[in-house]
Amino acid sequence: MLASFAGDSNYGTTATAGHALGAQFTLGGVTLGGAKLQNDDSTEEQVMNISAAFGDFTVGYEVHTATTAADVDTDTTTIGGGYTFGDTTFLVEAMETESQSVVSSDEMTYGIHHTLAPGLVAFVETTDDEKTASEETTAIGLTMKF
């Protein structure tokens, strides 16, 4: 169980004070999670997710809902998966955002991550948004963990 409380100045957001509660449960290779953020300005965020690992395969599903003070919901649904073959992982993710029955984002992301050395990963990812042509991106880079 996780809990968080923010004072009147909630850094990084336009929200005022608020609180969040969340929980995560893992059994074998399956993890369930959920959280809710309630702000004093009557806005809220809620997330529910599930992920599973089966040998070299992983899969995940998440629904995130942001609710305005006027009680308008914006839902973002994401499903993704991956396959690891040696030091290389192949990834795919589909994400859709809609509010009041209008889809504003419909993205597909593909990626390849390759471990060059312990803690050093090279990657290439590309994202295509069917709703917004300006959000077609490709990223190439290195990540380092130490």
For 68-125, write each residue's pLDDT tens digit. Answer: 889 899 999 999 999 999 999 999 999 999 999 889 889 999 999 999 999 999 999 9
The pTM of the full predicted model, rounded to 2 decimals, is 0.81
The string of DSSP letters for 82-99 reads: EEEETTEEEEEEEEEEEE
Q: What are the residue ranges spanned by the domains of the chain?
A: 1-71, 80-146
CATH annotation of 80-146 = 3.30.1300
Please answer whether residues 56 and 83 qualify as being in contact, where contact means their C-beta atoms are separated by less than 8 angstroms. yes
- Where would I find the beta strands (DSSP E) of the chain? 2-6, 18-27, 30-39, 44-54, 57-67, 73-85, 88-99, 102-117, 120-129, 137-144
For 10-40, write each residue's pLDDT tens digit. Answer: 555 565 678 888 999 999 999 999 999 888 8
